[in-house]
Amino acid sequence: MATRTDQEEPIMLRPQDTSTRERKNLDGLWRFALDGDRRGRDAGWFARRLDTDRELAVPASYNDLTAEAEVHDHVGPVWYQREVWVPAGWAGRRVVLHLESATHRATVWVGDAEVVSHEGGYTPFEADVTAHVTPGQPVRISVEVDNTLTFRSIPPGEVEQTAHGPRQRYWHDFFNYAGLHRSVWLYATDPAHLTDVTVTTGFAGTDGHVDYRVGWESGPADGAPDGTGGADPDVAVVLRDADGAEVATGRGATGRLTVPDVHLWAPGDGYLYDLELQLVRDGTVLDSYHQSVGVRTVRVDGARFLINEQPFYFTGFGKHEDLAVLGKGHSPAHLVHDVALLEWIGANSFRTSHYPYSEDVLDYADRRGLVLIDETAAVGLNLGMFGRRDQPTFSPDTIDDQTREVHAQAIRELVARDRNHPCVVLWSIANEPESRTAEAEAYFRPLFDVAREADPTRPVGFVNVGLAPHGQCRVSQFCDVIMLNRYYGWYSYTGDLAAAEDAWEAELRDWAGEGKPIIVTEYGADTYPGLHATTPTPWTEEYQVAYLDMNHRVFDRIAEVVGEQVWNFADFATTPGIIRVGGNKKGVFTRDRQPKAAAHTLRARWRGRVAG
Ligand code: GCB
């Protein structure tokens, strides 16, 4: 089998229907069983109909779908299972099973055969299952999904064994939703197929250019009985504009296409070209794949963040994938509604805090011209923040070299999945890790290299926490952009916005001295909707407004601040705790997306601001 790729990253193309490809969606109700005792594998649960009367929905977190605490608070594996008819027309085709995510790790069986395992809850994985299916026949698909977080997972956590069963502990502030959060697909291609594409873009004057690199496999070797062997196929590419008019063509697995009178992708203008890739042999198109392309550049210049050489100012939020009933399950209706609210409020950007979001979100952001900071699931690498001051975060007993390998793989998988999205302008490789010690510096230095090697075209950063202020943080030296989460006037100087304003400005001015662009990636105040006061009173709607106004006065006095992203877009679920009332209430919208008073304040500011 000839392989035309020199990359180490996971190689995959998102399933799509084309003239040569066909998908079958496996969403819906699947049989479901808890397996806290980890008996399922040895007992061969995959080999027969799962012994359960529960059926749960995919895509969704399983946690909130029933009314039972044992499901909501389950720790350990669960099993999903269903049958699917493999289309008769797929005879002679290569058949692939693709899961858009399984949180946090999974093993998959097709019939009795184990076909793939994957670590990490927010990136896709797939297996060639041709040998395990018969077109025209049904097949059983079983997925064991494990939500356990350990010191070897990203995000990390620890399971405590108690008299009442295992309890999952972790150091991040959102509920540990788990399950099959995104779609599952079966798809078919020709045995000779495209495997991968990377596009990078640029422009000079009115000419744009698109550099592409395509991977492919030729299928069974020469002389194979199915006749698919023979001469190596060739790659042909066609670039079309948004009206479908052909603007450039190319041949070969790599090349540069020139786009005269280019229509750039820009914030607020999600203009996309369509790059059709074809794998051709003897005049026959064996495989066809469509890749959207936004022609744009991103660059840091001193303390400026440039998109298409224009200074860009980020307005928007840190978000979560978090919904009533669905948990972290992807919902197209909510995606459309959230983006409508972002546009209503004048946000031009958001951060995929604190994990890679559904690929539908990125596709839609591309089309809407929304700008994304794309984050890995490395959140909570900071034991001290959650009362574990006795234990170092980075040590052989806690987060160690093995964890770093998992983290590196998470970075590679994020970049491999999202590098062709024009909406992504900045990688965030971690949120609020411990960053004051030599161990933190040693842990992170190689991870920045991993990110830059995977994508030399975008700036890289991580999100700094207030516990590592300017002068104490040993990791921000590796960043192209400084990203800060700060809560002056909330967690410190609570209720005293005048003192908060002075302290915040003093710290920001220190950071500004680095000469790098600064994005304030979190600032926010918990707000209970309907709570009011005439005097500055935390938790009231008026306080959230005054708190945001104070922050904005500070940002407007410091030229190096190139972005403001409020924490959070909407209220979201957390673990129970004495500083959380039915979840984290820092949303500018409630969990069911009703505006708090602050939404109108932000709308007035952001709709009045012209980017740059
Ligand atoms: C943070 C975290 C975020 C929390 C937020 C808060 O710094 O990055 O995950 O939810 O603070 O509300 O405390």
Tens digits of per-residue pLDDT, 31-46? Answer: 999 999 999 999 999 9
Lowest mean pLDDT segment, chosen from 82-86, 183-187, 579-583: 579-583
Q: Please indicate whether residue 322, judged by its CB atom, sits closer than 6 Å to ligand 1.
A: no
Q: What are phi and psi of 463, to 5 degrees?
A: -100, 120
Average pLDDT over residues 84-102: 98
CB burial string 387-413: b at 16+ within 10 A, e below: eeeeebbbeeebbeeebbebbbbbbbb
pLDDT value of residue 390? 80
pLDDT exceeds cutoff 50 at 240: yes
Residue 173 Cβ inside 6 Å of ligand 1? The answer reads: yes
**Contact by Cβ (8 Å): 415, 457:** no
Q: What pLDDT sits at residue 611?
A: 42
pLDDT for 222 beyond 80: no
Report pLDDT for 388: 74
pLDDT, residue 610, reads 47
- Tens of pLDDT, residue by residue over 281-316, are 999 999 999 999 999 999 999 999 999 999 999 999
Q: Which percentage of the chain shows pLDDT scores above 90?
A: 94
Domains delineated in the chain:
21-189 (2.60.120.260), 193-293 (2.60.40.10), 352-483 (3.20.20.80)
Q: Decide: 428 in ligand 1 pocket, CB within 6 A.
A: no
- Tell me how many helices (H) and strands (E) the chain has: 8, 30
Instruction: Give the mean model confidence (pLDDT) for residues 155-167.
Output: 96
Q: Whose CA is nearest to atom 9 of ligand 1?
A: 173
pLDDT category at 221 given cuts 50, 70, 90 is low
Q: What atom in ligand 1 is closest to the CA of residue 485?
A: 7
What is the DSSP code (8-state) at residue 355?
Answer: S
User: What's the pLDDT score for residue 8?
Assistant: 52
Q: In what order do the strands lie in the sheet with 184-189?
A: 22-25, 184-189, 94-99, 125-128
522 is catalytic: yes
At 110, list the tokens: 């097709």
Mutational pocket test of ligand 1: of 376, 385, 584, 588, the residue with most ligand atoms within 8 Å of the beta carbon: 584
Does the predicted TM-score (pTM) go above 0.85?
yes
Ligand 1 site, residue 584, Cβ cutoff 6 A = yes
Whether the ω angle into residue 59 lies within 30 degrees of 0, i.e. cis, is yes
Ligand 1 atom 3: residue of nearest CA? 173
pLDDT score recorded for residue 67: 97
Closest ligand 1 atom to Cα of 526: 12
381-434 per-position pLDDT tens digit? 999 887 777 889 999 999 999 999 999 999 999 999 999 999 999 999 999 999
